Structure 1
Amino acid sequence: MTGSRSLIASARGFTYVETLVVVLLCSLILGAAHMLFSQGVRSSVKGMDLLESIRAANEVFSNIRKDLRGSVQVNAASPKITIPTGAAVFPDLTSAMSDTLIFVQPVATVTYRLLSGAGGHYIEREENTGGAVSKRNFAVPRIKSFEAAKIGQMQRVAAGYDVFVQDQLLVRISVESSDPRFPGGKVDLSSFFVTGQLMQTAWWNYFYDFL
């Protein structure tokens, strides 16, 4: 009788050990699955936040492109820098960069400027028609920096010795994540626009619509 009780106790003891091992294994598997799921969700959220930053910058570029098409003159707070023909090294644009960009149109003046607010930096678009002023803010508060420079590229006609200056506009935007979970989510974007022959159709520049 005593032997039977010992066998039963031993059997129960092995059952408890096996149960404990199974519980530990299940816990490890669930922990690993949770970690993988959390990393996947974090990566997805970070990717969506990055896309939102890029979308915010592209919205600014799109509006600048539209205003450029209807302008007769483009001005910046800093003077234009001229690149001579045959230049092998691109000049330093630090002195030519400005945080204010002005488009002079036949019936209005459009100004883009970098401003600071309680939530951070943002770009303000102000349209002044003489009788009314309308304002719009972009990428609040994602914008970290906004810079524009007027560049004159001297070029020589292939069939002769004549030299002409092709005016260009360089716009650089830095967009940073506004989510505290992604403090390093910064994106730097730049775009070149041809400002010569404004108010013309696209026949003279095939790539104008794609800039």
Structure 2
Amino acid sequence: MTEPSNADTIARSPITARITRVADLAATLLFALEGGLVAIAVGLDPVGVLVVCFVSALGGGLVRDILTGALPPAAVSDWHYAVIVIVAAAAVWTLHGVLAGLPGSLVVALDAAGLSMAAIAGTEKSLDRDIHPLVALFLGTVSGVGGGAIRDVIINQVPRVLRVDIYASAACLAALIIVIWRLAGLPARPTAIVAGLACFGLRMAAATFGWALPHAMA
């Protein structure tokens, strides 16, 4: 019997499983809070806020798990996800009078943090299921942007991923770092930290300085 390679050992270690779960739950909380703030801003009622929180927080992960064959999806089979979303929605609704006065940069920061965590979780989970690295790169990006895209459609807005240039690119950067470092056999924890900081930093810098990708000229 052949011994597992270093990369295989890292991919299936308890450390990466823990990182994936923590990142996924953190992304759920951050996206739920951000979704609630967006729902309040467009004037939705409590039920609408809850629906938008659920879609924002769980949409990307549901798409990821369905595409990777991780069925039933974690968002359906693990009660922690639903509880996090419900608590976040209740908190946003209860405190919406206070939260309404917070700067818009807070929503951007929540979104950037959620984007980072979701991209990490999506890429790690895809690689752990022996998905090809290029497909894992795509699924990590989808995990980050999927929920927000569905949310924007529900509230009748053009999805942010289509109107904000450095958005999917930031999630893709995090996914790319994880794929390359995992293939190189580097430790999982620093890989996730570097990937998360890179995604968050790029998204916040783009929002602050108005960075954009080049557009095709007609």
Please classify the TM superposition score into its range, dividing by the shorter chain length: under 0.3
TM-score (norm: length of structure 2): 0.26
Higher normalized contact order (CA 8 Å, seq sep 6+, divided by chain length): 2
Rg comparison, structure with higher value: 1
